[in-house]
Structure 1
């Protein structure tokens, strides 16, 4: 049965596994059916961004959620501004841009409010206080219910924790990317800030893709780690269950955001959500199989 965890600063109770919409394409014929089945399966958090397909990902989510808006939480992101010629995007965390972008997202999502609005990146050179003030203003206006940050940079995350009232951080975390275990996850747990963990399958390397270089790991190292994992699966567990349960078994993690494109992937995610958590000794055994990695930049 689906478990729900609270994002403490909002009171939102969100499903243990949530739906990452980025993999859905706007011309997909099954999008509505997949999203409806996700809701039926207990998933209630849907994550998108204005960057994905130049906003079309938000539009398809808005269409699929017609009549169901009150049953779900929407997380979307801002900060990557598409160039007018469509050739790419530029980073823009400024007030004027965010105030315009939120209105565009609301229209595409066909909603009056966004539950969680995330700054989609960030650097130490940003005008952080200006961005934070803008998010606070949007809360006061009722256009968003809470805000946060999508980042893998510990130095940026620390600054937002110090300066703002962020409710949640989305960050990459998996058995192959254990960098957040060093500091970030404990910091957020201690501050009652929710964690949306993305990339729990490490782009498929942990479950079905051939080994390749990943972060600071060479392909041979990835292959060795995955083989060790396969040979040490907790009794009665599949590989997918194990890697997903490893992620959302960390006490800081509120929800694991699964990138879903097909009904089969959705079924796998829901089946995983309905399994028991790893026991602490199982988790410790998995952690001991390799030393883990740490951030080399943005510390």
Structure 2
């Protein structure tokens, strides 16, 4: 396993991160899978208080008991479940964030969170108050670092300019190269790490039938998937090729992969040791579909 420092932080995170949202087994099953991931070198585990009404944090917390000093725990805040359970509302308020950390710490069975992330964000938010909440939690020692999970270039710029974020989680794949134009250069310049999610575009680059995705037609999606297959080799299958495309982007610190089964875990692990894409292979993939750009929130 390869490791990278996450932005300006001292957190050394595995090149493959474990996206815990996909966990769907019992606590025992989830723990078995998480322990297998740790044995394979994965040390970064990402969850959120939103997932399964907090039960995802509970299951992850149980699994990581006894491993706390060897892992990096990331969770997220900002989405508030309604009392009737019908859905959630966006709440980036200072008081809400500060109150939520206590519940996450309890569910995760830990005294501190390594990376606390704002689970979204808009320009209409009270951004300075939101930042003040994270800074307060830093001073209290309840979190070690903070970041945001956002695909909005205008929101990302505000946090780069006004806060001490060390990371941004965002979607990135061959079928979603929007960050290349709007975010990656800024984040590289400011030494802020990228946690990339959606590396296989919901499976469309690997094993799912072609369908429209973002601004791409089904035909264009099929072309991208065909290019991934074309550049795959016996030593690097389609999923690993799609992941290598993401991991070889200099801005990316870790690819966060949703893992639900041992087979998915092994696929993700093999991407780390798979042969790197050559310059010509990368160029061929980039030419497979027209690059897309953010049309909103610029």
Deviations 1:170-225 (A, max 9, x none): 00001111111112111111110011000101111111111111111122221122
TM-score, length-scaled by structure 1 = 0.96
Stretch deviating more after TM superposition (4-13 or 186-195): 4-13
Q: How much does 1:14 deviate?
A: 0.7
Deviations 1:70-94 (A, max 9, x none): 0000010000000011110000000
1:150–1:124 distance in 2 versus 1, CA, 3 Å: same
For the Cα contact (< 8 Å) 1:26–1:60, is it kept in 2? no
Moved over 6 A (4+): none
Give SS of 1:19's match. Answer: strand
Number of residue pairs matched by the alignment: 298
Match for residue 137 of structure 1?
136
Q: How much does 1:283 deviate?
A: 1.6
Question: Using the alignment, how far apart are the partners of 1:132 and 1:48 within structure 2?
Answer: 21
Match for residue 247 of structure 1?
246
Question: Using the alignment, how far apart are the partners of 2:134 and 2:278 within structure 1?
Answer: 39
Match for residue 229 of structure 1?
228
Q: How much does 1:286 deviate?
A: 1.6
Question: Using the alignment, how far apart are the partners of 1:235 and 1:297 within structure 2?
Answer: 40
Question: Using the alignment, how far apart are the partners of 1:45 and 1:236 within structure 2?
Answer: 25
Gaps of 5+ in 2: none
Q: How much does 1:235 deviate?
A: 7.5
Deviations 1:264-286 (A, max 9, x none): 10111111122233233322232
For the Cα contact (< 8 Å) 2:77–2:117, is it kept in 1? yes
Question: Using the alignment, how far apart are the partners of 1:36 and 1:214 within structure 2?
Answer: 34
Question: Using the alignment, how far apart are the partners of 1:212 and 1:188 within structure 2?
Answer: 31
Give SS of 2:133's match. Answer: helix
1:252–1:271 distance in 2 versus 1, CA, 3 Å: same
1:178 counterpart = 2:177: yes
Correspondences of 1:287-298 after superposition (within 5 Å): 287-298=286-297
Match for residue 218 of structure 1?
217
Stretch deviating more after TM superposition (160-169 or 220-229): 220-229
Match for residue 112 of structure 1?
111
TM-score, length-scaled by structure 2 = 0.97
1:260 counterpart = 2:259: yes
When the two chains are superposed, the root-mean-square deviation of aligned CA atoms in Å is 1.3
Match for residue 88 of structure 1?
87
Match for residue 194 of structure 1?
193
1:26–1:119 distance in 2 versus 1, CA, 3 Å: farther
Deviations 1:18-67 (A, max 9, x none): 10000102636521110000000000000000000000000000000011
